[in-house]
Amino acid sequence: MQSDKSNQHTIGNYFESFAIGQIFQHGVDRTLTQADASLYIALTGSRFAINCADTLAKQCGYQNMPLDNLLVFHIAFGKTVNDISLNAIANLGYAEVKFHQNSYAGDTLSVSSEVIGLKQNSNGKSGIVYVRSTATNQNDEHVVSWIRWVMVAKSDPACSLKPTVIPAFKKTLTAQEISREISADKGLLAKSIQFNQWQSHFSDNQIKFDQLNVASVIDHQYGITLNHSEHSMATRLYQNNAQVHFDQHKMQSSASGQRLIYGGHIISLCRSLSYNGLANAILPVAINGGSHTNPCYAGDTIYALTEVIDKQELADRNDVGLVRLRLLGYKNPTQQTIKQIPVEIKSSLYNDNQGKPNYAANTVLDIDYWALFIR
Amino acid sequence: MQSDKSNQHTIGNYFESFAIGQIFQHGVDRTLTQADASLYIALTGSRFAINCADTLAKQCGYQNMPLDNLLVFHIAFGKTVNDISLNAIANLGYAEVKFHQNSYAGDTLSVSSEVIGLKQNSNGKSGIVYVRSTATNQNDEHVVSWIRWVMVAKSDPACSLKPTVIPAFKKTLTAQEISREISADKGLLAKSIQFNQWQSHFSDNQIKFDQLNVASVIDHQYGITLNHSEHSMATRLYQNNAQVHFDQHKMQSSASGQRLIYGGHIISLCRSLSYNGLANAILPVAINGGSHTNPCYAGDTIYALTEVIDKQELADRNDVGLVRLRLLGYKNPTQQTIKQIPVEIKSSLYNDNQGKPNYAANTVLDIDYWALFIR
Amino acid sequence: MQSDKSNQHTIGNYFESFAIGQIFQHGVDRTLTQADASLYIALTGSRFAINCADTLAKQCGYQNMPLDNLLVFHIAFGKTVNDISLNAIANLGYAEVKFHQNSYAGDTLSVSSEVIGLKQNSNGKSGIVYVRSTATNQNDEHVVSWIRWVMVAKSDPACSLKPTVIPAFKKTLTAQEISREISADKGLLAKSIQFNQWQSHFSDNQIKFDQLNVASVIDHQYGITLNHSEHSMATRLYQNNAQVHFDQHKMQSSASGQRLIYGGHIISLCRSLSYNGLANAILPVAINGGSHTNPCYAGDTIYALTEVIDKQELADRNDVGLVRLRLLGYKNPTQQTIKQIPVEIKSSLYNDNQGKPNYAANTVLDIDYWALFIR
């Protein structure tokens, strides 16, 4: 009996095996189903109306209820883990997350990534890998694309240094870009899609685009406690095989001694919580960037609030507008913290120290996204 | 940065904002899917045959396997929480729960409620709100309707008292009413639906209508332990956003110090447990009323027993009959309690004290419903 | 009020009620849905490509993505529990598990079992029941069949002894038999099914048939920690009502004091873990036999490794071969154990003592199966 070491693909890639321009066609294409949508509701508590009823969706011009863009993103993202981040030390960030078209039950995602940046860390033991990933559907059309960068361990610390390449990318997608993107023929807001017949009660009579004040902060008020099974099931549903989420035996000897909760699950929980206040932010159309500011563990209770950063009307459209939102997640607040939020959000949640946020230990998420908003 | 307080819809309604005759058209219409049915099986363990196989359902005249009526009820009920009971202190009861027609995967529910009763409590801090809720499908046909009453906090204890209106409703739906209701053109037992070819093994060769003895008590024998994730997932699947089920951080300071389990989940667990003994009670057609006699928490183990209250033949039908059942749930019995059940059900589970049940601490559910029963 | 004892079907069968030749037509036929497949992914983490994408499956000649054979097996197996093993003391083994054809969402399973062996234990209190079970679909075609034997309690220890019948069955299905079986008109590898266009990245560029070395051991490397909700949900999804998995209140007084995890869930977890190394073992076609060598509990972390026992080319086929694999599951290894695996697999995991494995306490599964393997 002998150990078979011929297959390096089962242990992921290390920093030294990445090269600029390298393209990964990721494994395990995935057909999205209505079951993924129901599970997403059960796991996150999402209630955004457009994803919940065929009748409503058809009335607005969709073929039927579209899948939640974040569900689609998580499944697409999950496909990249095996090649890109199985040996990740940290997921550092993402940018230019663009949703190019709606997905429906029955669509199949294929995902690829191109290495667009590399930077070895000064300690020589790891480096940062930048990739641009793209999910396409069964018709070879783009569904969602994004840039992310991740710190990856080196397998052999002695291996030679690669020239540093740091890719150019946009810190923020402008309303103009988004508008052009979503108005395309098959875009999220193609001409056939109209919200003119939206009735206020569809989204629980909540505030609409015209009443929304830029710079206001909306406290979503309610919390959700993390249990092990939901985050484990969500992460497996996305076929994201990063081991830190699943293996308590190994995590026992980590700094926290616990399984880490997949950051995407936290994004989804915060977005779901944000329904309470922003029910008319019917769907995210792009994500400018985001940080998982502190790790989450089973037993933590997650709350969220949103700062309205910007709002823009859309040309030839009086049914929906574009809103830029900063979604902040925090956990286990003290009575003191709860009182300070949202009135003193800056000081209680993070400190703007020389332009760089200095997050308090109970913040868990700071994500900046654009959403369609019912007028 | 300023807090946005313009939207009252995100904090629910308080007692003083309800008015007799007021109608709520609830948010977030919901398309029911086969995934909801599979999740319901995974979450509750239900095995009633008619909901599990297209072949069997079609042989009986259904278009395909109908969704479990309790699943439909929970989803419909969940829609009412945001407007009616987000500030509920207690869910006091329901009555006249009628299932008007079968639901199938693909049907979409819209739910509305009318305020039919109001009664301020003598302490002036809260009051009882009575509503009649109705779920309709995409063809505007009634699917399920019910009355419920709930104790709701006042936002301003000083606000003026409203005249008390207590609605008339039936404590028990009679077999005649039920029979008329279910025999309607699209009713649960429309003419096209026939169980003449039912084979005993479909429902595990259990007792049939003719062998069922009125006043007998059936011990369903087996228990199911509550875990946090299943009740959380079930409640979110129903998009029921009552916070007491989800937020451990806030519940820490409540009397129990724990998240409460949604009463509807307990109903479903007890009904699922009742398959073992009442597999031929193939579907509930109406609920006369019910009480959640004690709260349930994760870690509790739930058992159930059923008292047969009544049975009635149906005109022109020898395939099924109508049976009135009292389903009792209890938890964590001591060896002593187990021995007493079901022989001494009255004394062990509750005490009939001057006509009013005086439930022991380990009882959790007392529900009175009508079911179709295979002959 | 009186207790109804007329229905023996709710307490399962005891040893003395089984007779050679007896046939059970099990209750609750079950239509398989795409939701079962999504739940299976969420509960087990399975990533085998053929079960995940309609596009890929159709390209290979399937009508669309087939359901995972193990999911089908667990649902079929679950149907037999109520009649065969509700009073089981131990599930002793299975053999000749054959998958006769693929199942798709929409197919309905009916399951029957024939008693083919009986052997009373020498203590007179229990006996071994051997059954051959068969699941058929809505067209009365065989889907999966298997033999299993189980130790069942006697209800009345004094009841008379039955003549011992031990059935003949194959310890191992040969490649020839399997090949004949799967090549049948509707078999798993009917002529219409072709993997000639398989691209390496479909299965994460892992080792293919020709590189696979007989007698090699593949360490699947990653672990998965068991939570209560997932195993409970999986077992309920399969409608397997064995009480040891669900009732903590009763299990408190058992030897372990804990709920046991359904062995089938462990098989599925180990098979899912085995994707990492054996992604090209695209589907199991038969199981020769298996043992659950130690019980598993919530909190345990499961790992797996596979020994390649045999590989066989298939006549007229250069797209796939047949591989016989021994899948070993173990839990909570010490640092010492981890180092020994897989190099000293024999000594660390079990001892071959006079031809009989003598498993160490951390082994949980030893299963021997045939799989189709991409060339």
Check B232 against A228: CB less than 8 A apart.
no
The gap from C-alpha C142 to its chain's centroid, in whole angstroms, comes to 17
Residues within 8 A of C (CB atoms), B 225-254 only: 225, 227-230, 233
Q: How far apart are the first and last CA of chain A?
A: 68
- The answer to whether the Cα torsion of B331, B332, B334, B335 is positive or negative is positive
Contacts with A24 from chain C: Cβ below 8 Å: 201
Contacts with C219 from chain A: Cβ below 8 Å: 3
Confidence of residue B2 (pLDDT cuts 50, 70, 90): very low
User: A79 at the C interface (CB within 8 A)?
Assistant: no
The helix-helix angle for C34-44 and A228-237 (nearest 10°) equals: 120
Contacts with C82 from chain B: Cβ below 8 Å: 204
What's chain A's average pLDDT?
A: 91
Distance CA A281, CA A286 (A): 12
Contacts with A250 from chain C: Cβ below 8 Å: 223, 301
pTM here is: 0.96
Check B216 against C2: CB less than 8 A apart.
yes
Q: What is the ipTM of this complex?
A: 0.94
- The answer, yes or no, to whether the previous bond of A342 is cis (omega within 30 of 0) is yes
DSSP B280-317: T--EEEEEEEEE--S---TT-EEEEEEEEEEEEEETTE
Q: Are B257 and B251 in contact (CB under 8 A)?
A: yes
What six digits make up the tokens of C349?
A: 């995991």
Does residue C34 carry a pLDDT above 80? yes
pLDDT at residue B103 in the model: 98
Alpha helices in C238-353 (DSSP H): 248-251, 263-273, 275-278, 335-340, 345-349
Check C28 against B52: CB less than 8 A apart.
yes
* Chain segment B167-216, per-residue pLDDT in tens: 999 999 999 999 999 999 999 999 999 999 999 999 999 999 999 999 99
**Any long-range contacts for A183-191 (C-beta under 8 Å, 24+ apart)?**
A183/A314, A184/A100, A186/A100, A186/A101, A186/A141, A187/A100, A187/A101, A188/A99, A188/A100, A188/A101, A188/A102, A188/A283, A188/A285, A188/A372, A189/A285, A189/A314, A189/A317, A189/A320, A189/A372, A190/A61
* Chain segment C151-204, per-residue pLDDT in tens: 999 988 888 778 999 999 999 999 999 999 999 999 999 999 999 999 999 999
Contacts with A35 from chain C: Cβ below 8 Å: 33-35, 37-39
Does residue A256 carry a pLDDT above 50? yes
Distance CA B158, CA C154 (A): 69
Distance CA C105, CA C122 (A): 46
Distance CA A364, CA A129 (A): 23
Contacts with C247 from chain B: Cβ below 8 Å: 222-225, 301
- Name the DSSP class of C162: P
Distance CA C170, CA C184 (A): 21
Strand partners, C301: C225
Backbone angles phi, psi at B20, to 5 degrees: -55, 135
Residues within 8 A of A (CB atoms), C 13-42 only: 33-35, 37-39, 41-42
Distance CA A222, CA A239 (A): 29
**Residue C102: strand, helix, or coil:** coil
User: B299 at the A interface (CB within 8 A)?
Assistant: no
**Chain B neighbours, 3+ Cβ pairs < 8 A:** A, C
Q: Are B144 and B73 in contact (CB under 8 A)?
A: yes
Lowest mean pLDDT among A6-10, A92-96, C208-212: A6-10
**Residue A275: strand, helix, or coil:** helix
Closest alpha carbon within chain C to A249: C301
Min Cα distance A163 → chain C (Å) is 28
What six digits make up the tokens of C89?
A: 């003391």
Distance CA B345, CA B329 (A): 12
For C366, the enclosing helix (H) or strand (E) is: strand C363-374
User: B49 at the C interface (CB within 8 A)?
Assistant: yes
- Which of A215, A370, A368, A218 shows the shortest CA–CA distance to A293? A368
What's chain C's average pLDDT?
A: 91
SS3 helix, strand, coil % of chain A, rounded to 5? 25, 30, 40
Confidence of residue A351 (pLDDT cuts 50, 70, 90): low
pLDDT at residue C11 in the model: 80
Does residue A261 carry a pLDDT above 70? yes
Q: Are A101 and A181 in contact (CB under 8 A)?
A: no
User: A53 at the B interface (CB within 8 A)?
Assistant: yes
Q: Are B234 and B43 in contact (CB under 8 A)?
A: yes
Distance CA A109, CA C320 (A): 25
* Chain segment A203-240, per-residue pLDDT in tens: 999 999 999 999 999 999 999 999 999 999 999 999 99
Strand partners, C112: C25, C134
- Which of B267, B277, B340, B314 shows the shortest CA–CA distance to B70? B267
Distance CA C135, CA C29 (A): 10
What six digits make up the tokens of C218?
A: 């593949």
Distance CA B277, CA B305 (A): 9
Does residue A2 carry a pLDDT above 50? no
Confidence of residue B352 (pLDDT cuts 50, 70, 90): low
**Residue B268: strand, helix, or coil:** helix
* Chain segment B291-316, per-residue pLDDT in tens: 998 999 999 999 999 999 999 999 99
Residue matched to tokens 């059940």: B341
What six digits make up the tokens of A66?
A: 């579209």
Distance CA B173, CA C265 (A): 44
pLDDT at residue B161 in the model: 73
Residues within 8 A of A (CB atoms), B 318-357 only: none
Contacts with B202 from chain C: Cβ below 8 Å: 27-29
Distance CA A305, CA A206 (A): 16
Distance CA A44, CA A39 (A): 8
Distance CA B194, CA B215 (A): 28
